[in-house]
Amino acid sequence: MCLAIPMKLIKIEKNKGIVELSGVKKEISLDLLKEVEIGDYLIIHAGFAIEKLNEEEAKKTLAIWEEIAEVQKQ
Amino acid sequence: MKYITEYRNKNLSLKIADKINKSLKGYKGTISLMEVCGTHTHSIFRSGIMSLLTDKIEHLSGPGCPVCVTPNKYIDTAIAYSRLPDLIITTFGDMIKVPGSSSSLEKEKANGGKVKIVYSPLESLEIARNNPEKKIVFLGVGFETTAPLVASTILKAHEEKFENFFVLAGNKLIPPAMKALSESGEIKIDGFICPGHVSAIIGEKPYQPIVEKHGIPSVIVGFEPIDLLEGIEMLVRQITEDKKHKVENQYRRVVRMGGNEKALSLMNKLFEIKDSEWRGLGLLPKSGLYIKNAYSEFDAEKKINVKVEKTKAHPKCICGEVLCGTKKPYECDLYGKLCTPENPIGPCMVSSEGTCAAYYKFKK
Amino acid sequence: MKKKNMKDSKILLSHGSGGKAMISLIKKLMLDKFDNPTLNELTDSAVLKSTGEKNLCFTTDSYVVNPLFFPGGDIGTLAINGTVNDLSVMGAKPLYISCSFIIEEGLDLDILDRITTSMAKSARRTEVEIVTGDTKVVEKGSADKVFINTSGIGILQKELFLSKNKIKAGDKIIINGEIGAHGLAVMSNRENFKTDIKSDCAPLWGLIESMLSVGGVKFMRDPTRGGVAAVLCEIADIANFGIKIKEESLPIHENVSSFSEILGLDPFYIANEGKVIAVVTEEKTSSILTKMKKHPLGKEASIIGEITEKNKGKVVLETAIGGKRIIDRLVGDQLPRIC
């Protein structure tokens, strides 16, 4: 049971939030997360945010591979 | 789509596949990697990554499709509920086509049973709010990704004093299944591709005892093609280079080592862990989540009385063995003949993540 | 294999979704019984042969969409455009439409008014005349608000001969624009999501007429229920050639991609109501696309694949990352996944 997508938090109303992905908006529950801020990317599963995406780590994963790809080219 | 599209980069994917293939050039034999998550099965087939990788890597689909591992008795109970006049069954999509002993929720719907597909358990609660004269039963099927959502919904029902909302508890835990597969010795598993979003909830720790006892490298992997390829690269590296095997986390942008503490605490508050019946694996100790007594007013099994038909399965259906990877779909006598997506006999053919359905659709 | 007892079987929703279940039902209960050469061609519209220069084309369709009104259209626009398009993809100029209504007791008159206004507007836009009709009212509960059936007649130049038999290896497969919008627009209401996605519902004759004027068009279909996948599978099957498609060539708007991702749906299988897929000769592909791009409904026209000798009867997709997989028809409806 794993289908979940990163969506951007654009509004917070108590324990509910509005998230957005390329113009698609949905109200979701923030009950499973401790602290969130507008602008956070949240992993959304069946109407709930189950985790916050770590943007630093996200950039790192791609950077490592891009570096390896460069080295392989040489 | 930010944080999605970047992980589908073709050039990068081909480079990582190339690196994996080169690293196995001199390797003698094959490496069997098992994923235990329906969304991984789907992503692997959909992206076509196996067609980029050497034949030396064999992909095994394990019991990661919650719909597939749900036993007939659960479905028969849901069907019995759907036949009650004042009751509405609410469920996630795939469940409605799964065959029980003699029917399915889809067929009951055609016969006048009230079955509604919902995107979220919260929608189920809204249906209960808008239909106070009916009983609403939510089918709580899924693994640890979904369990906290069900727990949160029951808690909300409790706080708002709902009297007509119930859950038929069916959530299961992945690590006990992995443990059972590792212990069975029936199939050769050289590495586990661990489910990314289940791990977002449970963290890395639950996999450690399995790796320590059985020495099977385990990597927590995300769902995009680059995640899958990086995860496979990490597994292949462990298998070919490392002496001691360990749990690694490829999906670091989402999975934290300790998991999601708030979600785990909610699960702890609402559910207790008990032995649970899995199609294909039998009764696994401490592998299912059941509603605690303090919230028993929402437990459908305790609160709604109904006669359920005697469980029976097709004698030739080997979904259980397919689910564990001990047999391939085409080794089943029924596959492609009596059992097709149009007329599924076992759940592996129904769910879009079911191994048999995936084989039928994508391969042979 | 034991024959299934008819009495034990019921019609399921999947029988109406354009997938394998529906095809199987139609074959067993209708085609085998009605059996005649015109029907057996199984084209979007039947070609009624005449002795003159032109043939007639005849088609029928029923519209049962829920909700009745959705972003970008309503059951009325669908009822006219859908039938117009079934004629147009045969190369037939749509001329006359019939419409019959089955209305549930208790429906607001205002709703029916809005629907018929839509139909009138759509008919005028396409220059078709609604020349005959019927209206029935059934008891509350016997129909879901309103069902509309439209039948259409169009005229086909005999020298314009579109046929699956003309398809050859090397032919290109083209589409007029972005896919997946209609099905998602209809779903967005039901699933409580807010999106800007609008149905692409539109009449295709004007665009198709301009494509035909270039020459080189061999075969066309509109990818409605079952989506682009259903049409490609059909073409591979009936022409007995393979089809090679590149995932990155499929024109999909970002908001359709995103919404599909969220629901776990594949845009390949989502219904469209303003799209045409054409099999065209390689030599004329470029000029046909140029012509299409001059038309408002063809601005995003592009090549999505080609006909191949290899893999007869199969649709092979090269995935976004360069992998390969086979595309098959779905059995029933595509259900939103969570898993």
Instruction: Report the pLDDT value the prediction gives residue C3, as an integer from 0 to 100.
Output: 45
- The pTM of the full predicted model, rounded to 2 decimals, is 0.89
Instruction: Report the pLDDT value the prediction gives residue A6, as an integer from 0 to 100.
Output: 94
Q: Which residues of A touch C254 (CB under 8 A)?
A: 22-23
Label residue C301 by pLDDT band (50, 70, 90).
Answer: very high
Do the beta carbons of residue B37 and residue A2 sit within 8 Å? yes
Classify each residue of C193-226 as buried b or exposed e, where b means 16 or more C-beta atoms within 10 Å of its C-beta: bebebbbbbbbbbbbbebbbebebbbbbbbbbbb
Q: Which helix (H) or strand (E) holds B79?
A: helix B72-82
B92-108, pLDDT tens digit by residue? 987 888 888 888 898 89
CB contact under 8 A, A24 and C339: no
Selected residue of A1, A22, A44 to mutate for chain C interface (largest C Cβ count, 10 A): A22
Count the Cβ atoms, other than its own, within 10 Å of residue A60: 13
Q: At what angle do helices B225-241 and B10-23 cross, to 10 degrees?
A: 20
C140-185, pLDDT tens digit by residue? 988 889 999 999 999 997 677 788 889 999 999 999 999 999 999 9
Classify each residue of B93-130 as buried b or exposed e, where b means 16 or more C-beta atoms within 10 Å of its C-beta: bbbbbbbbbebbbbbbbbeebbbebbbbbbbbbebbee
CB contact under 8 A, C20 and B352: no
Give the Å distances, CA to CA, from A55 to A6, A35, A61, B230, C283: 11, 15, 10, 18, 48
Query: Quick one: B310 exposed, middle or buried, by C-beta within 10 A (0-12, 13-18, 19+)?
Result: exposed
Q: How far is it, in rounded angstroms, from Cα A66 to Cα B11? A: 10
| Cα angle for residues C93, C298, C316 (degrees, 5° grid) | 100
- The set of chains that have 3 or more CB pairs under 8 A with C is A, B
Q: How far is it, in rounded angstroms, from Cα C132 to Cα A58? A: 62
Domain housing A15:
5-73
**Number of domains observed in the structure of chain A:** 1
Label residue C339 by pLDDT band (50, 70, 90).
Answer: low
Q: How far is it, in rounded angstroms, from Cα C307 to Cα C285? A: 13
Q: Which helix (H) or strand (E) holds B322?
A: helix B319-324
> Residues 6 or more apart from B11 whose CB is under 8 A from it?
A69
The yes-or-no verdict on residue C12 having pLDDT over 80 is no
CB contact under 8 A, B2 and A29: no
Shortest CA gap B197–chain A (Å): 5
Label residue B198 by pLDDT band (50, 70, 90).
Answer: very high
Q: Which helix (H) or strand (E) holds B43?
A: helix B38-47
The yes-or-no verdict on residue C332 having pLDDT over 80 is no
> What rounded mean pLDDT belongs to chain B?
91
Q: At what angle do helices B261-270 and B147-159 cross, to 10 degrees?
A: 60
Give residues 139 to 158 of B whose Cβ lies within 8 Å of C: 142, 146
Shortest CA gap C118–chain B (Å): 31
Shortest CA gap B283–chain C (Å): 23
CB contact under 8 A, A22 and C255: yes
Determine the average pLDDT of the residues in B236-253.
92
User: Which of B143, B152, B254 faces A43 most closely, judged by CB atoms?
Assistant: B254
Task: Locate the domains of chain B by residue range.
Answer: 1-313, 319-363
User: Which of A3, A24, A45 faces C195 most closely, judged by CB atoms?
Assistant: A24
CATH: 3.30.450.20, 3.40.50.11740, 3.90.190.20, 3.30.930.10. Which one for B1-313? Answer: 3.40.50.11740
Selected residue of B40, B172, B352, B363 to mutate for chain C interface (largest C Cβ count, 10 A): B352
Q: Which CATH architecture has domain C164-327?
A: Alpha-Beta Complex (3.90)
The yes-or-no verdict on residue C1 having pLDDT over 60 is no
- The set of chains that have 3 or more CB pairs under 8 A with B is A, C
The first and second tokens of residue A65, run together, are 């591979």
The yes-or-no verdict on residue A16 having pLDDT over 90 is yes
Residues forming a β-bridge with B115: B89
Instruction: Report the pLDDT value the prediction gives residue B2, as an integer from 0 to 100.
Output: 87
Classify each residue of C57-91 as buried b or exposed e, where b means 16 or more C-beta atoms within 10 Å of its C-beta: bbbebebbbeebbbbbbbbbbbbbbbbbbbbbbbb
Residues forming a β-bridge with A68: none
Q: Among the listed ranges B91-95, B174-178, B211-215, C273-277, which one has the minimum average pLDDT value?
A: B91-95
Instruction: Report the pLDDT value the prediction gives residue B290, as an integer from 0 to 100.
Output: 98
CB contact under 8 A, A44 and C262: yes
> Could you tell me the CATH number of the domain that includes residue A44?
2.30.30.140
The yes-or-no verdict on residue A60 having pLDDT over 90 is no
Task: Using the structure block, give the residue that is written with the tokens 């009104």.
Answer: C69
CB contact under 8 A, C322 and B111: no
CB contact under 8 A, C320 and B353: no
User: Which of C257, C263, C328 faces B361 most closely, judged by CB atoms?
Assistant: C328
Residues forming a β-bridge with C137: C103
CB contact under 8 A, A22 and C254: yes
B325-344, pLDDT tens digit by residue? 788 888 999 998 888 877 78
The yes-or-no verdict on residue B354 having pLDDT over 90 is no
More confidently predicted of C90 and B312: C90
B249-302, pLDDT tens digit by residue? 999 999 999 999 999 999 999 999 999 999 878 899 999 999 999 999 999 999
Do the beta carbons of residue A8 and residue B201 sit within 8 Å? no
Sign of torsion, CA C326 C332 C333 C335?
negative
Do the beta carbons of residue C312 and residue C241 sit within 8 Å? yes
CB contact under 8 A, C336 and B10: no
User: Which of C193, C261, C264 faces A25 most closely, judged by CB atoms?
Assistant: C193
Instruction: Report the pLDDT value the prediction gives residue B29, as an integer from 0 to 100.
Output: 92
Do the beta carbons of residue C152 and residue C128 sit within 8 Å? yes
Q: How far is it, in rounded angstroms, from Cα C298 to Cα C276? A: 10
The percent of residues in chain C predicted with pLDDT above 90, rounded, is: 66
CB contact under 8 A, A72 and B19: yes
Instruction: Report the pLDDT value the prediction gives residue C333, as an integer from 0 to 100.
Output: 63
Determine the average pLDDT of the residues in B54-71.
88
CB contact under 8 A, B226 and A62: yes
Instruction: Report the pLDDT value the prediction gives residue C337, as an integer from 0 to 100.
Output: 57
The yes-or-no verdict on residue C336 having pLDDT over 90 is no
CB contact under 8 A, C262 and A26: yes
Shortest CA gap B15–chain A (Å): 6
Q: Which residues of C touch B93 (CB under 8 A)?
A: 335-338
> What rounded mean pLDDT belongs to chain C?
89
Label residue B121 by pLDDT band (50, 70, 90).
Answer: very high
C71-122, pLDDT tens digit by residue? 999 999 999 999 999 999 999 999 999 999 999 999 999 999 999 999 999 9
The three-state (H, E, C) secondary structure of C192-216, written as one string: CCECCCCCCCCCCHHHHHHHHHHCC
Instruction: Report the pLDDT value the prediction gives residue C2, as an integer from 0 to 100.
Output: 42
CATH topology for C41-157 is 60s Ribosomal Protein L30; Chain: A; (3.30.1330)
The yes-or-no verdict on residue C5 having pLDDT over 60 is no
Determine the average pLDDT of the residues in B18-22.
94
Label residue C191 by pLDDT band (50, 70, 90).
Answer: low
Give residues 5 to 64 of A whose Cβ lies within 8 Å of B: 5-6, 8, 21-22, 29, 31-34, 41, 43, 45-48, 50-51, 53-55, 57-58, 60-62
Task: Locate the domains of chain C by residue range.
Answer: 41-157, 164-327
CB contact under 8 A, B123 and C192: yes
B133-158, pLDDT tens digit by residue? 999 999 999 999 999 999 999 999 99
Give residues 4 to 33 of C whose Cβ lies within 8 Å of B: 10-14, 20-21, 24
Alpha-helix residue ranges (DSSP H) falling in C71-222: 75-88, 109-126, 181-190, 205-214
More confidently predicted of B143 and C41: B143
